[in-house]
Structure 1
Amino acid sequence: MAPRMVQQVRRASTGKGAYALSEKRETTRAQNREKIEAAAWTIFSTIGLDAASVRDIVAESQVSPGSFYNYYGSKEAVFDEIVDRLIRRIREETAAARAGAGDFEVMLFEAYLAFMNLILPMKGGAAFFELNQHHIRSRLFGATQIEAMLLDIETDVGERIEIDRLSPIKRHILISVLFASGTEAIFAAFRSGVYDAGDLAGFLTRLFTHGIVSAVHPDLAKLHE
């Protein structure tokens, strides 16, 4: 049997050639998706989802149109993937911040601070959130990742204060408002150009732990930092 034929038979029997090919294909696939998502972030941060086209994303990514449609069916699909990835990071980092906190007030501050420190420094973040805020808002509540995050928050809050004394609807309102206030603070910060994460986290914490009066007059409340 010729040497080349022996090699082909060995590859077929061991599966090593097929495995290497599959591994290379997966690597290429991951790299292309990364290029597309990075390009989409740039486009969405420049002209927004509404004005963007698949052609814009393809040109920015330098990936072929066929590859784009092989991975994503539309520009909205890329946008959804970016937002979903961002939500996963928010969930992970804020959960870690809450886990290391003691009482309710410290927990809120650390979670808000982690959230602000993740989002505010993002390159192109201000434009991305400003240009696409209606799309972002529409994807937040009801999303699987958000529902899971709200359950995480409810569990962590419940370990520090007796929210089980509240009715289910009031608990839901409380947890939803805690989350929504952080996203509204982000939108407001980007609109105003004021990116002081610690100040925003402190304000929201005082607002929820001591009420509106102490939020307006922070000297009346103690904030554990």
Structure 2
Amino acid sequence: MVAAVQSAQGQGKRARTKAANRQAILEAARQVFARLGAEATTVRDIIRETDLAAGTFYNYFKSKEEVFEALADEGVRRFRPRLASIRESATSLQAYLLEAYSAYFDFLNEENEEAIRQGAPHAAMIGVRVDTPEMQAVFEEIRADLEQVAKSTGLSLADSGFLTAAAIGIAREVGDHMLMRRPVDTRGATEFATQLFLHGAGALASKSNS
């Protein structure tokens, strides 16, 4: 019995250590990416920002790209509750888009505030894979949202999958360029992205109904 308890305690300690090491790498990478930019950052730069041995890094990640993707997924997990609250209150397609784009661009700005304040390259999520479980879950959530809002307002969407991809693509590209401008204009980005999407969505809906 004592041996079993000690074994369980040992396993629990190892699990906590592994979680702490992984988080230390992620936090270090966040700082280095903000300071140097994702392209210029090397694995060695990330390791130097931690108290971990060089070999420890590779117990958790194969490359800096994997770390970048993990940070992006972590950001997605933090953003999803905001999207859920928008879903509950949306009364029209335009209202949903305005709130969703506004929430995303505000979130992106908040995530990069320190980098922007320091004048360093921002850590935008450009180039991150979109086939991770987190991103796939968000894709399906937005797709369901668009279908539900459109249905409730009498719209017929030509292809909700393509429209969801377009909505996310607009957010990613406009958001990336928004972060490059000074001052960062989240309101302007929101209005532009919403109108761009609505114009295309309206044309496709009309074509579908003709």
TM-score range, shorter chain: 0.7 to 0.9
Percent of aligned positions with the same letter in both sequences?
Answer: 26
Counterpart Cα distance in 2 of 1:165 and 1:100: 21
Q: 1:179 maps to what in 2?
A: 168
Shift of residue 129, structure 1, vs aligned partner: 10
Q: 1:11 maps to what in 2?
A: 2
Counterpart Cα distance in 1 of 2:110 and 2:196: 24
Q: 1:147 maps to what in 2?
A: 136
Total equivalences in the alignment: 196
SS in 2 for 1:159: helix
Q: 2:104 maps to what in 1?
A: 115
Q: Which has the higher contact order (CA 8 A, sep 6+)?
A: 2
Q: 1:72 maps to what in 2?
A: 61
Structure 1, unpaired ranges of 5+: 1-9, 213-225
Q: 2:20 maps to what in 1?
A: 31
Counterpart Cα distance in 1 of 2:195 and 2:102: 13
146-155 or 53-62: bigger deviation: 146-155
- Deviations 1:99-154, CA, capped at 9 Å, x for gaps: 22222222111111211221102244559995666xx4433444443333222112
- Deviations 1:156-176, CA, capped at 9 Å, x for gaps: 1111214984444xx333222
Q: Which amino acid aligns with 2:170?
A: S
Counterpart Cα distance in 1 of 2:22 and 2:51: 11
Q: Which amino acid aligns with 1:35?
A: A
Q: Which amino acid aligns with 2:68?
A: F
SS in 2 for 1:195: coil
Counterpart Cα distance in 1 of 2:189 and 2:50: 35
Q: Are residues 1:83 and 2:103 paired?
A: no
Q: 2:206 maps to what in 1?
A: none
Shift of residue 179, structure 1, vs aligned partner: 1.5
Indicate conservation of the 8 Å contact 1:48/1:128, yes or no. no
199-208 or 44-53: bigger deviation: 199-208
Q: CA RMSD in A?
A: 2.9
Indicate conservation of the 8 Å contact 1:129/1:187, yes or no. no
SS in 2 for 1:139: coil
Point out the structure with max Rg over C-alpha: 1
Counterpart Cα distance in 2 of 1:114 and 1:131: 19
